[in-house]
Amino acid sequence: MATSLKNLSAYDPASVPDCSEFKFGIVVSEWNESITSALAQGCVDTLVKHGAKIENIRLHTVPGSFELPLGGQFLLDSSDTDAVILIGCVIQGETRHFDFICQAVAQGCMELGMKYNKPSVFGLLTTNNLQQAIDRSGGIHGNKGDEAALTAIKMVHLKRKLK
Ligand code: DLZ
């Protein structure tokens, strides 16, 4: 993901496969909405930039990041979605809540991909403070939503190529 040393949102568009035949599900957490809506917008814009049809992008919200893996499972269960992208933002607080949520989403996201044999992309910002989240949701370090979209496209392409 974008770090203070590298903006991974900067890339060569020609290196990204066309995704006009792919179907995507995006699940977005309502917590830290100003951040997650910017991430989701970046994600949708990047999918469309590389050919995705808007009718092939299903976007739903869940109350918080902890609910992202189950939201992704609902989407994969109910449609012919090729990949799901889980988008959230967890900001470090004074309690250990942060650790439990981040660990659960990471684990749930990975298990979801394995269970359905489909890309399940970890689009969760886990930051120490709000400024770090702003910097990574369309700020000086790019937009992790863009990066999540690129990961989904590349992984669906890889799966189809290997079939
Ligand atoms: C409870 C909670 C807290 C403290 N912080 C965040 C956060 O920074 N980002 C986020 O997406 N969600 C947070 N939540 C909500 C949990 O993800 C979850 O929705 C609730 O614990 C209910 O399961």
pLDDT digits (tens, 9 = 90+) for 71-110: 999 999 998 999 999 999 999 987 788 999 999 999 999 9
Does 35 fall in a domain? Answer: yes
Dihedral (C-alpha) 117, 160, 65, 115: value to the nearest 10 degrees? 0
pLDDT beyond 60 at 3? no
Contact 65, 93 (CB under 8 A): no
Does 19 fall in a domain? Answer: no
Does 1 fall in a domain? Answer: no
User: Is 112 buried (19+), middle (13-18) or exposed (0-12) by CB count in 10 A?
Assistant: buried
Measured distance CA(30)–CA(101) in Å, rounded: 14
User: In sequence order, what are the beta bridge partners of 123?
Assistant: 87
The tens digit of pLDDT for each residue in 23-58 reads 999 999 999 999 999 999 999 999 999 999 999 999
Atom of ligand 1 nearest to the CA of 68: 17
pLDDT beyond 70 at 151? yes
Measured distance CA(155)–CA(82) in Å, rounded: 10
Q: Whose CA is nearest to atom 12 of ligand 1?
A: 64
Residue 49, amino acid: K
Taking the centre of ligand 1 as the mean of its atom positions, its distance from the CA of residue 131, in whole angstroms, is 18
Does 8 fall in a domain? Answer: no
- Mean pLDDT score of the chain: 94
Distance of CA 66 to the CA centre of its chain: 14
Domain at 97, CATH number: 3.40.50.960
Q: Whose CA is nearest to atom 8 of ligand 1?
A: 90
Measured distance CA(158)–CA(128) in Å, rounded: 34
Residue 160, amino acid: R
Distance of CA 47 to the CA centre of its chain: 11
Instruction: Tell me the whole-structure pTM to 2 decimals.
Output: 0.95
User: In sequence order, what are the beta bridge partners of 62?
Assistant: 29
Which amino acids bring their CB within 6 angstroms of ligand 1? 29, 31-32, 63-67, 88-91, 93, 97, 101
User: Is 53 buried (19+), middle (13-18) or exposed (0-12) by CB count in 10 A?
Assistant: middle
Does 2 fall in a domain? Answer: no
Taking the centre of ligand 1 as the mean of its atom positions, its distance from the CA of residue 13, in whole angstroms, is 34
Domain that holds residue 147: 28-162
Does 10 fall in a domain? Answer: no
Does 66 fall in a domain? Answer: yes
pLDDT beyond 60 at 163? yes
Does 6 fall in a domain? Answer: no
Domain count, the chain: 1
